[in-house]
């Protein structure tokens, strides 16, 4: 019997909540539309930053032959440190942005003979020049080491330099508008219940008087 009463009270509460929201539907719609329109105005008139593109090149580290078989010319972790230092191109934070430009080295998981050259710059030409330059330095550094070996597999590119067509700092305008719409809708519902709560307190005080 008590359980039936609880169920009935829950149904009444849900019905009351729905009734409250429906009675304030105009406010909810107006508030949500206003927030969404403000977001649209923002993305339309927002000054897009200078585009920054990402270029990558996958490189396979060469090997030299020893009595125990082939061994990598360089350790990828050591290469990462050396190449980033030799690039003479410190990562720089862009003005008014949370993005950086420069050249970095990544080591793909599960491998000890691959490195990934990453370059983030404002032009395709600069990306290609930076990657080619650091790749050339890599080969030059290894030439001295390979002089003492007759049998070796040289370091080589795997594929060509690839550059993303979309800038890495391109504003996600559709996402901004969508999030604004959802946020405005949820916030409007919260405000409706808050106003009802305040109104309920005021009515209770009047009745007590």
137-152 pLDDT, tens digit each: 888 888 877 877 788 8
pLDDT value of residue 11: 52
Quick one: the chain helix, strand, coil %, rounded to 5? 55, 20, 25
Least confident of 103-112, 125-134, 179-188: 103-112
Instruction: Report yes or no on 168 lying in a domain.
Output: no
Mean pLDDT, rounded, for 110-127: 90
Residue 200 has pLDDT above 60, yes or no: yes
Average pLDDT on 124-130 reads 93
pLDDT of residue 37: 95
In a domain, 81, yes or no: yes
Amino acid 209: pLDDT = 61
Within a domain: residue 145? yes
Is residue 174 one of the residues assigned to a domain? no
Structural domain boundaries, residue 104: 53-163
**Distance (Å, rounded) from C-alpha 3 to C-alpha 200?**
28
CB 76 within 8 A of CB 66: no
What CATH number is attached to the domain comprising 133? 3.30.70
On whether residue 134 sits in a domain, the answer given is yes
Tens of pLDDT, residue by residue over 54-89, are: 999 999 998 888 878 888 888 888 888 888 777 655
* pLDDT (0 to 100) of residue 3: 53
Average pLDDT over residues 3-25: 69
What is the mean pLDDT of the segment spanning 29-58? 90
* Numbers of helices and strands, H then E, in the chain: 5, 8
For residue 2, name the pLDDT band (cuts at 50, 70, 90): low
Q: Say if 176 falls within a structural domain.
A: no
Cite the beta strand spans of the chain per DSSP E: 53-60, 63-66, 69-72, 92-93, 100-106, 114-121, 152-153, 156-163
Does the pLDDT of residue 93 top 80, yes or no? Answer: no
Q: Indicate whether 92 belongs to any domain.
A: yes
Domains of the chain: total = 1
DSSP helix/strand/coil, 150: coil
Tell me whether strands 69-72 and 53-60 are parallel, antiparallel or unpaired: unpaired
| Residue 169 maps to a domain | no
CA angle 127, 129, 131 (to 5 degrees): 70
């Amino acid at each position: 019997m008590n359980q039936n009463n609880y169920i009935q009270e829950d149904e009444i509460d849900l019905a009351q909540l729905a009734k409250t929201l429906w009675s304030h539907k105009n406010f909810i719609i107006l508030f949500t539309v206003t927030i969404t329109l403000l977001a649209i105005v923002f993305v339309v008139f927002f000054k897009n930053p200078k585009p920054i593109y990402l270029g990558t090149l996958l490189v396979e580290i060469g090997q030299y032959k020893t009595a125990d078989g082939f061994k990598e010319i360089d350790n990828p972790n050591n290469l990462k440190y050396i190449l980033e230092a030799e690039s003479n191109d410190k990562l720089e934070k862009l003005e008014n942005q949370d993005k950086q430009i420069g050249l970095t080295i990544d080591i793909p998981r599960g491998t000890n003979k691959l490195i990934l050259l990453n370059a983030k710059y404002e032009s395709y030409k600069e990306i290609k020049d930076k990657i080619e330059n650091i790749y050339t330095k890599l080969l030059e550094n290894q030439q001295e080491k390979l002089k003492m070996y007759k049998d070796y597999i040289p370091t080589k590119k795997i594929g060509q330099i690839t550059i993303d067509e979309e800038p890495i700092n391109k504003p996600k305008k559709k996402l901004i508008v969508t999030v604004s719409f959802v946020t405005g809708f949820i916030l409007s519902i919260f405000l409706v219940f808050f106003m009802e709560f305040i109104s309920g307190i005021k009515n209770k005080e009047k009745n007590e008087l």
